Amino acid sequence: VNVTLTPHDRDAPVREWLAGAADSVVVTGPADQMNVHLHTTDRAALRVGLDTLGRVVNWSEARIVSTARRYDQGDQGVHIMTDAAGSLSLSDARQLGVTLLNSYLVVGEQSWPETLFDPERLYAVMVDGIKVSTAQASRYEKHESYLSAVSRFQRVLYLCVGSVYTGNYESAQRWKSENELGDRLSVIDTGAASGRLGLIVTATAEFAGQGADAQAVQCFAESTISQCRELVFLDQLKYLAAGGRVSKTKGFLGDLLRKKPIVSPTAHGAAKVGIVHNRDEQLAFALDRLDAQFPTDAAPRVLLQYADNRTWVQDIVAEQIHFRWPSANITVRPLSLTSGAHMGPGTWAMAYL
C-alpha cells in the first residue's frame, strides 16, 4: 500500500503505530504530509487506524502474490533473493519464485519503490526536467526482508547487487552475523547491477527450481557471475551529469559532440568500453561483441533492456540478434528504474551469457 497522510496532530505517533500494524514500512516526507509505503494483510484495519491518526490524501495498493511460486518448496533446495535493481519486475519474480528487495526512486518530493513506479512516467518526468534520484531501502526494511525470507525457507541465497554500487551486501552480512537465523542466509556479492544481475538471477533461479541442493546452486551462481557480461548504451550524458556520475562540463560537451558512451557494469564500477555517435553504431558494437564470443550456431542467452525505446529494442535489436543467432534465447524487459533514473531516456542495454 502507498499512502499520503496528513496527521491530525504533528505529535501523533504515526511511525510507532505503523511499525506495529504493518510490515516493510517506509515513511518519507515532512511530518505534516507523510508518504508511506507498507505491506499489510488487513487493508480494512489499516485504513481505520490511519483515519484515526490523520487524513488520507492518497491511497493506492497492489496485491503481492507470494513468491513461493510455481515450484513446490520441497522441490527446491534453496530460495533465491535479490535486488529489484536487477531489471526484474514483480511479475518476473513471481514466475521465478524470487524474493525482490526494493530500492527507491525519489521523483520530485515523492519516494516510490521502483517496482511500483510506471517506467513511462519516469522518463517523461525526466524529459520535463523534474529532479529524479534514487535511495536504498531503510535498514529496518532490509532487516525485515531478510527475516521474512529465512523464516519461510530453510536455505536462502541472496544474490546481491554489486557492493561497489550500494551498501546492501554489507548490510546483509552484518545482519547475518548478528541474528540467530543468519546461518540460513548465504550472501554473494555479484558485482553486478541492471541486466547482468537480472540474467544471473534468472539463470540461477531456474537451476534452483530443478531441485539442486544449496551448494550446487551457489556454485552455479558463482560460475554464472564469472561468465555473464553486459553493455549499456547511453543516449545522453546530461542525466549522468545531473546525478554527479560525470561532471556537468563533460556531460554538456559530450552531448554537444553527439558522443554516446558504452559502459559495462563490473565489480569495480561502470567501465567505459566504447564511444559511438548514433543508434546504428550502438547496434553494430553490440553485434560485434556477441560475434566475438559466440559462433552463429551457438545459443547465447541475451537479456535486452529498454528505457523509453521499447519498439526499437524489440523490433530492431532483438530481430538482428535472432537473425544472426537463430537459436539465441532472447528476453526483452524494462531497464531497472534505479539504473534508468541515472542513465536517462534513450538508454538501452544488453546482458549476455
Task: Tell me the mean pLDDT in the region 6-35.
Answer: 80
What is the overall mean pLDDT for the chain?
A: 87
Please answer whether residues 304 and 348 qualify as being in contact, where contact means their C-beta atoms are separated by less than 8 angstroms. Answer: yes
Q: What pLDDT was estimated at residue 221?
A: 97
Give tens-digit pLDDT for 250-305: 433 444 346 899 999 888 888 889 999 999 999 999 999 999 999 999 999 999 99
Give tens-digit pLDDT for 339-350: 999 999 999 999
Residue 313 has pLDDT above 80, yes or no: yes
Residue 326 has pLDDT above 50, yes or no: yes
| % of the chain with per-residue pLDDT over 70 | 90
State in words which class domain 73-102+137-227 has: alpha beta
Name the more confident of 16 and 209: 209
User: What is the domain partition of the chain in residue ranges?
Assistant: 2-60, 73-102+137-227, 229-352
Give tens-digit pLDDT for 146-157: 998 898 899 999
Task: Tell me the mean pLDDT in the region 110-121.
Answer: 85
Q: How confident is the model at residue 239 (pLDDT cuts 50, 70, 90)?
A: confident
Amino acid at 24: S
Please tell me the distance from the alpha carbon of residue 282 to that of residue 258, in angstroms, as a whole number: 13
Residue 249 has pLDDT above 90, yes or no: no
Task: Tell me the mean pLDDT in the region 128-133.
Answer: 91
Question: What pTM, to 2 d.p., does this model score?
Answer: 0.77
Q: What pLDDT was estimated at residue 241?
A: 59
Name the more confident of 175 and 144: 175
Q: What pLDDT was estimated at residue 242?
A: 57
Please tell me the distance from the alpha carbon of residue 137 to that of residue 132, in angstroms, as a whole number: 16
Neighbours of 156 (CB within 10 A): 22
Q: Does domain 229-352 have CATH number 3.30.1180.10?
A: yes
Give tens-digit pLDDT for 32-87: 888 888 888 777 778 877 887 888 888 888 776 544 444 344 445 799 999 999 99
Instruction: Write the DSSP assignment of 113-182 as a string of letters.
Output: EGGGS-HHHHHHHHHTT--EEEEEPPHHHHHHHHHHHHHH-S-EEEEEPPTTT-SHHHHHHHHHHHSTTG
Strands 156-160 and 185-189: parallel
Distance of alpha carbon 103 from the chain centroid: 7
